[in-house]
């Protein structure tokens, strides 16, 4: 697995995605539909996918794991202090990258279907 991190702000229709290969730098940004995000997961080499823990994040986490990615779900109350400025999808993805690198943050395990 490489050291690429994919931060995703999941939503109902359009997902905001930020891809980072080194701390503090976003290499790519995408706004994708559900289908587009599924294609992105399939096209990317194995990476770490970071999402805010919520109901749909568990579903997408399982999808990413099936495609060989490591998944980290971060509790929303931990992400908020890292979001600079107004809360938008774009700033949320950048804010997700920082708590992931903090060793003290405890990730939420991806729930199985059962």
CB 88 within 8 A of CB 104: no
Three-state DSSP class for 108?
strand
- With bands split at pLDDT 50, 70 and 90, how would you rate the model's confidence at 58? very high
What predicted TM-score, i.e. pTM, was given to this entire model? 0.87
Domain architecture of the chain: domains with CATH: 5-101 (3.30.420.40)
- Which of 16-25, 59-68, 82-91 is most confident? 59-68
Write down the mean pLDDT value for the chain: 88
């Amino acid at each position: 697995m490489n050291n690429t991190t994919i931060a995703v702000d999941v939503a109902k229709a359009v997902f905001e995605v930020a891809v980072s290969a080194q701390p503090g730098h976003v290499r790519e940004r995408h706004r994708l539909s559900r289908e587009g995000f599924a294609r992105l997961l399939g096209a990317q080499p194995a990476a770490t996918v970071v999402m805010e823990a919520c109901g749909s994040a568990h579903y997408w986490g399982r999808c990413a794991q099936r495609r060989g990615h490591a998944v980290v779900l971060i509790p929303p109350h931990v992400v908020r202090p890292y979001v600079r400025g107004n809360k938008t999808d774009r700033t949320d993805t950048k804010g997700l990258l920082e708590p992931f690198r903090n060793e003290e943050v405890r990730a939420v395990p991806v729930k199985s279907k059962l």
